[in-house]
Chain A
Amino acid sequence: MLDATEATHAAQVTDTSDTAATTARSDRADDASAPTIASLAPRADFPILAREINGKPLAFLDSAASAQKPAAVLDAMNHFARTSYANIHRGAYTLSEEATRAYERARKNVAKFINARSARELIFTRNTTESINLVARTWAEANLRPGDALLLTEMEHHSNIVPWQLAAQRVGAEVFYTPVTDEGELDLAAYEALLERHTPKLVAVTQMSNVLGTLTPLPELIAKAHAVGALVLVDGAQGAPHLPVDVRALDCDFYAFSGHKMLGPSGIGALWGRAELLEAMPPFMGGGDMIREVTLAGATWNDLPWKFEAGTPAIVEAVGLGAAVDYLRQLGMERVHAHEQALTTYALERLRAIPGLTIYGPPAERRGGVISFTLGDIHAHDLATLLDREGVAVRAGHHCAQPLMERLQVAATARASFYVYTTSAEVDTLAEALERARAIFAL
């Protein structure tokens, strides 16, 4: 666990001499006399990065799918499970009180991380998908009438499309989509026109495309939606891990995100919502912990946030997410974003030099650390297999965003994504592996 900026720096220095993988790669980058970008977080903090894959050092370039965990997170979970675990909100015994405190402390910590007004507004869920489904069930059923409109975008992940399609089917509402330009950005003129024509009840939009890395102009989108009376749900699955997030400054109404993409464990995510909206929404799932009183005739609901947390939650994972948030806070989210933009700028340049390689999406200054690409006529899955042989892990396929792939007219892309532990040497490894793929396929 790092304590200060100085510690980060020191650890980075020791790391390059400690880890064979890092050393080898630094040398290679030096040879090419390319500018090198060290990892922002000490690589030694992430035990898995020491692994070899197919005899090569692991270059993990799939953090947009799920991030690796620092020892600080793994240790926090382990320590909690070994010393303070019990069910929460139940027992009048010491362990249960300790566990409850740890769980609620994690909630407060995560709420602070996105600058929520109160921890009451932060509901723990399993992941972004469940957070969006929560709103698409409870808010939508209480507020949508037949003929009402919902406005999404063409670049959404399936998890920010399908729940709304289901909600619309249930109530007879209609779903519209803001188109994406050839550069992979939202068509803002079309967005305004759709807002005016359909006056949607809600706009659901991603903070950052998981395929193209496109950063959406949220303040502008949100202000315009509010001007026509629409609420705004932000899919922060790719936002919370990589950008400074302030839900009050954003002025959104709901913000959904996952723990596992932001150095935390899988199985825990969160929904932030304005307290007055959450208060007015019916519960999501029924069960223990979400009730105030149950009789055979019916039940009354618990206060926020527990009204939306039926059953025993992911207690250990919540503690892990709290530790992940601590870790990110110490790195500094501005620096996380700057690191990823530097890597993206570097990678775009490096990859553009490869003949036959097509990159999708906007320029580096308007995207996060995600690069989708194709290489000649090599199928993305073949590419992923070939890169895996060089120890490089990338995602291949439609990235759970089929409408966007349809818009780009491409069946599948390979996607490299960066995080706090990524180095420019790993980008070099990727580029070299792509050159080898070209040779094998005789491009």
Chain B
Amino acid sequence: MDDIYRQYILDHFREPHNHGTLEHPTLHASDTNPLCGDRIELDLNVSDDRVSEVRFSGRGCAISQATASMLTERIEGATLEELRALTPADIFEMLGVEVGPARQRCALLSLRVLHQGIQGPYTGRWSDDDEDDAIE
């Protein structure tokens, strides 16, 4: 079994990068995971169509908080177009570990918040579970 509690994930949880808030962010979004109450808030400053600064705050499990920390690192300097193109698969690849179905929502919370911030609620798929629900 692949270990989702690898040291670098625990490090991001214990000492998150880009943790905090921005004074007057260009974009702000927040959301919770109703299952476990995980919460992520995201502040972005955007200039010339690129992320110049990003901060996150929140509470929750190691997976949701570490993913948020890693995601903020990843999106610094990225264009809005690049942010829009991010998918759940990118998040799992970034984490570098297998995330079981029970914890995928934790891992994807920060991406959902990011997409809400830049383009309103994400309408794509959030986990493999949702794929099972698809009718077509």
Contact = CB atoms under 8 A, between A and B. Distances in A.
Interface of A: 54, 378-382, 385-386, 389, 396-398, 411-412, 440-442
Interface residues on chain B, size class: 10 to 19
A412 B37 contact: yes
A380 B102 CA distance: 13
A378, A379, A411, A442 interface centre (most CB from chain B within 10 Å): A379
Nearest to A405: B37
A222 to B, nearest CB: 34
Contact of A397 (B1, B10, B36): B36
Contact of B36 (A386, A396, A442): A396
B5 interface: yes
B114 interface: no
B31 to A, nearest CB: 15
Given A378-B62, A442-B10, 14 more contacts: A54-B1, A379-B38, A379-B61, A380-B36, A380-B61, A381-B36, A381-B38, A382-B61, A382-B62, A397-B35, A397-B37, A440-B5, A440-B10, A441-B10
Closest A-B pairs by Cβ, 6 of them: A379-B61, A381-B61, A411-B37, A382-B61, A381-B36, A382-B62
A23 B6 CA distance: 32
B17 to A, nearest CB: 18
Contacts of A382: 5, 61-63
Contact of B103 (A385, A389, A440): A385
B77 interface: no
A54 B1 CA distance: 8
B10 A381 contact: no
A379 B60 contact: yes
B36 A412 contact: yes
Contacts of A379: 36, 38, 60-62
A398 B37 contact: yes
B11 to A, nearest CB: 10
Interface string B1-30: 100110000100010000000000000000
Contacts of A440: 5, 10
Interface in B23-51: 35-38
A382 B10 CA distance: 11
Contacts of B4: 385
10 contacts: A379-B36, A379-B61, A382-B5, A382-B62, A385-B5, A385-B102, A412-B37, A440-B10, A441-B10, A441-B62
B125 interface: no
Nearest to B39: A411
A37 to B, nearest CB: 30
Given A381-B36, A440-B10, A389 B63 contact: no
B74 interface: no
B62 A411 contact: no
Contacts of B5: 382, 385-386, 440-441
